[in-house]
Chain A
Amino acid sequence: MTTKAHASPGTFTSAAVSSRNVARKKPWGPILLFLAPVMLFYAAFVLYPVGATMYNSFHTIEANLGQITTTFVGLDNYKALPDDKIFIQAVKNTFIWSTVGPTIELITAVGLALLVYFKVPFFRFYRVAWFTPMLVSGVIVGLVWRWIFNYDWGLLNVGLRAIGLDSLAVNWLGRRDTPLAVVIFVHFWATFGFSFVLVLAGLSTISNDLVEAARVDGASTRQIVWRVLIPLLRPVLITVTLLSFMGKMRAFNVVWVLTGGGPLHFSETVATYIQKRAFLWRSIDLGYPSAMAVAWFGIVLLGVGLLKLWLGRKETY
């Protein structure tokens, strides 16, 4: 007696008909009614601005003798991007940030989450404390850390001098080589708590049976972490990496308050430069900054896609 390996065509037809019947039975009226407000909100505050930005990117808006003229310029705004030294510097800074930032954030989040998972002393306090920076406004974070990095009386340099490390007490926000590192660190401090919470949540979904089974088999804590927990955390780690990457690619508020993108654009990001070109460039032309925004959107999309491909290869357990 053979077992049919595949369902008969009749079964498929029955399933299709059943599916259509289910679709017909769905209360589309109430569904649309409940979805309408959020869809309207989405259309008004997401789709329309994105569409308007794309439209503007192919135009220049000029004011002349009291008249505003919008002129179609095709790809001219996009073609000007590679020759814009400040844009190139901002892209370079942002790529460095989006590579270094997620890396240190991931390592830190996993490390701290494991400490809480393994219930080190005061783990309950750490669980709250490490998330707290996320609750502080980016503006306040920037202001406070600007004081901390003050050359004379900032906490950092005062502390370094107190322990005899005067040579390390530098002008952190006034050099070529340190402002970008400073904003990366400050932003990391402000946002690592989110990744930490995600990783901790992922750890809490891993069955204790697996860990116990590993212990019974004689696995050490290190082996449990590397051979059991980390592999099972992979989907969460991929999510954390992608979210962190996207966050760094559009980082703005901390940079804006901390350094304004300076000095000399050494800490300029694409987001801060777009802000300056759009609103602080003594012009009402939104065409060029819109082209920057659309181009960057494409780059971020590409980056996320490549990351997903690289990180998302399937594994079975």
Chain B
Amino acid sequence: MRKSFAKIFALLLVVALSVPAVALAQDEQVTIQWWSHWANEPAKVAVIEQIAADYMAEHPNVTIELTWWDKGPLFDAIRNTMIAGEGAPDITTFDLEVSEWVEAGWVLDIEDYLPWDNFLPGIKEDGNFEDQGIEGQYKFNISAVSNMLFYNPDIFAELGIEVPEDYQFTTDEFLEVVQKCSDAGYAGVADAIGNRAYPGVWPAQAALWTLVGPEEWNLYNNGLKSWDTPEARQVLEYTAQLRDAGLWPTTFSTMGIDEFHIYFHTQRKACMLYVPTWYPGRAFQPQENGGQDPNWHFGMLRYPSWEDGKGNDLLWNSFESGYAVLSTTEHPDVAGDILAFAAQPKYGALWTAVTNSPSAIKYDVETDWPSEELQEALGAVPGQWDWYWEEFAKVYGTMTPAIGTTTRCGDFEAAVVAALNEGLPLGLLTVDEAIEMLDEALCAE
């Protein structure tokens, strides 16, 4: 009898101890801290907050607390909190420029959380670190990037510059265009390095892309190949020719990134603008906030082509900063589930509709496009920028997208900034000196 009671008692004890655990798991209130950059891009803020609100509506036991940052201070904060071992959020902005986080074990593998079929091709190449011997996927992307070249049609008309039928000048023709613009008192392109370490590199990167194609480009761009080759020298010499023809504005070293957007779309002092598809984040805001006149329609061009260039017909794509789950999270499953929730096609469509940036998430325009009410609720004006997408489709729609990545080591990153962002555009370095500087800093494979 006693043994029976003991057994029954033990059984009841086990049940009693397990029931609260199950009940807790089901009703447990979970708070997810989500730190995101894009603090100064209200459209992107609106979409992410909508995603968070929708998730919380479907999961009443989950509270998502979003904190908005500028990217630099955010990355500093993540580094500090992860080293300290406390204070870090569950989800954070993540990009390849902080790939050392993955090497340090700070970022969780989210391979099993995300529906990868929902994303564009190339997504997995962007968020893996197999080259560093690390398995898994670490980056959730909501935004894709295409690298574009805009032109001011009014200036082109004034100067009698005709856009080719295939929207692509040859490199020689492009040089002539730049010279014409410069002779008329315009800058070839609106570009500046006052507060960024990369815009000055775009013309050289674009020329390299069209000449050597994406595979070789990735090697050159990431310091995995010597720049003392005929192709690289050809690109840098061409860049120097463009510089001498007046490609860059005289305010190149002082203008900030916001300023050179305005230099192009409002001050209209430059013929062209190299810019990725995050252009709308700054330019498609109200004019009093630094945005452009929505009724001013600029044109788009393909990057100048080389004879026998391997990348002439390839659209240089990449992915913008995305999100990652940090290893210190106490709720990895919930954090992963939130990112999986955000990977639905309707949010890809919402991203594009509201931010006017391409989405990394595939969607069907017919079934996934958000209602006008929802767009307006998030601050968008439906149809206002349709002309932009029509131009994009017209010029780039028939190009084959290919992925270019940037995962440089620190020394090479510094060399690229010094040589290609500053030295060559400002005429402070010769081509030989630039090549020497880059080659001295190559990354070990």
- Residues on A close to B: CB < 8 A? 63-68, 86, 146-147, 149-154, 171, 173-176, 260, 262-265, 276-277, 279-284
B residues within 8 A CB of A276? 414
B residues within 8 A CB of A262? 193, 417-418, 422
Does residue B100 face the partner (Cβ distance < 8 Å to A)? Answer: yes
Does residue B252 face the partner (Cβ distance < 8 Å to A)? Answer: yes
Q: Are A147 and B422 in contact (CB under 8 A)?
A: no
Does residue B428 face the partner (Cβ distance < 8 Å to A)? Answer: yes
Residues A260 and B197 in contact in the complex (CB < 8 Å), given A63-B100, A66-B103, A284-B79: yes
How would you classify the secondary structure of chain A's contact residues: helix, strand, loop or mixed?
Answer: loop
Q: Are B413 and A282 in contact (CB under 8 A)?
A: yes
Q: Are B105 and A63 in contact (CB under 8 A)?
A: yes
CB distance from B268 to the nearest CB of A (A): 14
Q: Are A171 and B104 in contact (CB under 8 A)?
A: no
Q: Tell me the complex Cα distance, A68–B429, Å.
A: 38
Q: How many residues of B contact A (CB 8 A)?
A: 40
Counted as pairs of residues, one from A and one from B, with CB atoms less than 8 Å apart, the total is 93
Q: Tell me the complex Cα distance, A67–B132, Å.
A: 13
What are the 6 tightest A-B residue pairs by CB atom distance, in nearest-first order? A281-B410, A66-B105, A174-B253, A63-B104, A63-B103, A263-B422
Does residue B133 face the partner (Cβ distance < 8 Å to A)? Answer: yes
B residues within 8 A CB of A147? 254
Q: Are B254 and A151 in contact (CB under 8 A)?
A: yes
A residues within 8 A CB of B195? 260
CB distance from A227 to the nearest CB of B (A): 47
Q: Are A64 and B79 in contact (CB under 8 A)?
A: no
**Residue in A173, A175, A282, A283 whose beta carbon sits within 8 Å of that of B254 in the complex:** A173
Does residue B98 face the partner (Cβ distance < 8 Å to A)? Answer: yes
B residues within 8 A CB of A277? 410
CB distance from A146 to the nearest CB of B (A): 5
Q: Can you list 15 residue pairs at the A/B interface with Cβ under 8 Å?
A: A65-B133, A65-B134, A66-B134, A86-B414, A146-B256, A151-B250, A152-B250, A260-B197, A262-B193, A263-B418, A263-B422, A263-B423, A264-B418, A279-B75, A284-B104
B residues within 8 A CB of A67? 105
CB distance from A120 to the nearest CB of B (A): 36
**Residue in B100, B194, B250, B418 whose beta carbon sits within 8 Å of that of A284 in the complex:** B100
Q: Tell me the complex Cα distance, A114–B134, Å.
A: 67
Does residue B99 face the partner (Cβ distance < 8 Å to A)? Answer: yes
Report B134-154 CB contacts with A as 1/0, cut-off 8 Å. 100000000000000000000
CB distance from B242 to the nearest CB of A (A): 16
CB distance from B263 to the nearest CB of A (A): 10
Q: Are B103 and A65 in contact (CB under 8 A)?
A: yes
A residues within 8 A CB of B417? 262
A residues within 8 A CB of B340? none
Q: Are B422 and A282 in contact (CB under 8 A)?
A: no
Closest chain B residue, CB of each to CB of A286: B83
Does residue B288 face the partner (Cβ distance < 8 Å to A)? Answer: no
Q: Tell me the complex Cα distance, A264–B133, Å.
A: 34
Q: Tell me the complex Cα distance, A265–B105, Å.
A: 33
CB distance from A59 to the nearest CB of B (A): 14
Q: Tell me the complex Cα distance, A276–B76, Å.
A: 12
B residues within 8 A CB of A65? 103, 132-134
Q: Tell me the complex Cα distance, A176–B423, Å.
A: 10
Does residue B255 face the partner (Cβ distance < 8 Å to A)? Answer: yes
A residues within 8 A CB of B414? 86, 276, 281
Closest chain A residue, CB of each to CB of B437: A264
Residues A174 and B426 in contact in the complex (CB < 8 Å), given A63-B105, A147-B254: yes
Does residue B251 face the partner (Cβ distance < 8 Å to A)? Answer: yes
A residues within 8 A CB of B410? 277, 280-283
Q: Are A282 and B426 in contact (CB under 8 A)?
A: no
Q: Tell me the complex Cα distance, A279–B429, Å.
A: 27
A residues within 8 A CB of B27? none
Q: Tell me the complex Cα distance, A174–B429, Å.
A: 12
CB distance from B427 to the nearest CB of A (A): 9
CB distance from A274 to the nearest CB of B (A): 13
CB distance from B379 to the nearest CB of A (A): 28
Q: Tell me the complex Cα distance, A293–B84, Å.
A: 21
Q: Tell me the complex Cα distance, A208–B427, Å.
A: 59
Closest chain A residue, CB of each to CB of B440: A85
Extra contacts, 6 of them, besides A63-B103, A282-B97 (Cβ < 8 A), are A174-B252, A174-B254, A263-B426, A263-B428, A279-B76, A281-B413
Report B232-264 CB contacts with A as 1/0, cut-off 8 Å. 000000000000000001111111100000000
B13-36 interface (Cβ within 8 A of A): none
B residues within 8 A CB of A284? 79, 83, 100, 103-104
CB distance from A67 to the nearest CB of B (A): 6
Does residue B265 face the partner (Cβ distance < 8 Å to A)? Answer: no
Does residue B408 face the partner (Cβ distance < 8 Å to A)? Answer: yes
Report B92-115 CB contacts with A as 1/0, cut-off 8 Å. 000001111011110000000000
Report B398-436 CB contacts with A as 1/0, cut-off 8 Å. 000000000011110110011000110010110000000
Report B183-210 CB contacts with A as 1/0, cut-off 8 Å. 0000000000111010000000000000
A residues within 8 A CB of B102? 66
**Residue in B105, B134, B254 whose beta carbon sits within 8 Å of that of A150 in the complex:** B254
B residues within 8 A CB of A176? 428
Q: Are B79 and A68 in contact (CB under 8 A)?
A: no
Q: Are B253 and A282 in contact (CB under 8 A)?
A: no
Q: Tell me the complex Cα distance, A150–B249, Å.
A: 11
Closest chain B residue, CB of each to CB of A176: B428
Q: Tell me the complex Cα distance, A174–B413, Å.
A: 20
Q: Are A66 and B104 in contact (CB under 8 A)?
A: yes
Closest chain A residue, CB of each to CB of B413: A282
**Residue in A68, A154, A171, A264 whose beta carbon sits within 8 Å of that of B422 in the complex:** A264
Q: Are B255 and A150 in contact (CB under 8 A)?
A: yes
CB distance from B61 to the nearest CB of A (A): 31
Q: Tell me the complex Cα distance, A63–B417, Å.
A: 24
CB distance from B185 to the nearest CB of A (A): 11
Residues A150 and B251 in contact in the complex (CB < 8 Å), given A281-B414, A282-B99, A283-B100: yes
Closest chain A residue, CB of each to CB of B105: A66
